[in-house]
Amino acid sequence: MPLKQLKGGLVVLGVLNALETHMALWEDFFCGGAPILTAASLLELFSLEYSPQGSNKRALEEVAVAHWRDWLIVDEDGDAAIQVDGGDLVKVNLEDVLVFASGASAIPPFGFKETPMIEFLHENLNGSRRMFPEANTCAITLKLPVGLDYDEYCQFMTEGILQSPNFGVA
C-alpha cells in the first residue's frame, strides 16, 4: 500500500516517468556514485601497525610510510609508471593500488567490514630481502617494503602492483 501511494505521488508530478525513462541518470542521485579515489582517501583508509617507538624497525617503518605517502601523491598525478619491453610506459593508478590491497575497485559506501591495515616487510624470505609490496585481500592488509631509498621504493611498488595478478572489477 505505501509503495502504491508513493508511485501515485510520483506519477502526479511526472517524476515516475522521468525515473523510468532516465534510470541511469538517477542512479547516482539516489544511490550515490562511488567516491573518487584520492591519495588522501587511501591514506585515511589504512591504519598503520608500527613496531614499538624507538626501535630500529620503527625507524625503517616511518621512512617507508613517508615514501608511501609521497608515492601515492605521485600516483594520483599519474606519474607512477614502469617502462616495459619495447619502451612503453605502463602506469599504475590509485584504483590499481586499492584492487591490489583489497580486491575492490572502489571504497564501499559504508567502508570495509575489516579495517584495512598496513604492515611492514622486515623478514627475509628464503634469505632474500622482500622488496615488492604484498597484500592479503581477505584481511585487507597491505605489506610495505622497508629499507629502500625513495627511487627504489617507487620502482618496486609500481612494479609489484602492475605485475600482480588481476582481480577484475569487484
pLDDT (tens digit, 9 = 90+) per residue, 103-156? 998 998 888 999 999 999 998 878 788 999 999 999 999 999 999 999 999 999
Gyration radius of the chain's alpha carbons: 21
Residue 69: all three cell numbers together: 605517502
Domain ranges within the chain, ordered by starting residue: 2-31, 39-162
H-only helix segments in the chain: 2-12, 15-21, 23-31, 39-45, 56-76, 94-102, 150-162
pLDDT tens digits, residue range 56-109? 999 999 999 999 999 999 888 877 777 767 777 788 889 999 999 999 989 988
21 or 100: which carries more pLDDT confidence?
100
Q: What does the alpha-carbon distance between residue 147 and residue 145 come to, in Å, rounded to a whole number?
A: 7
3-class DSSP state of 91:
strand
CATH number of the 39-162 domain: 3.30.2410.10
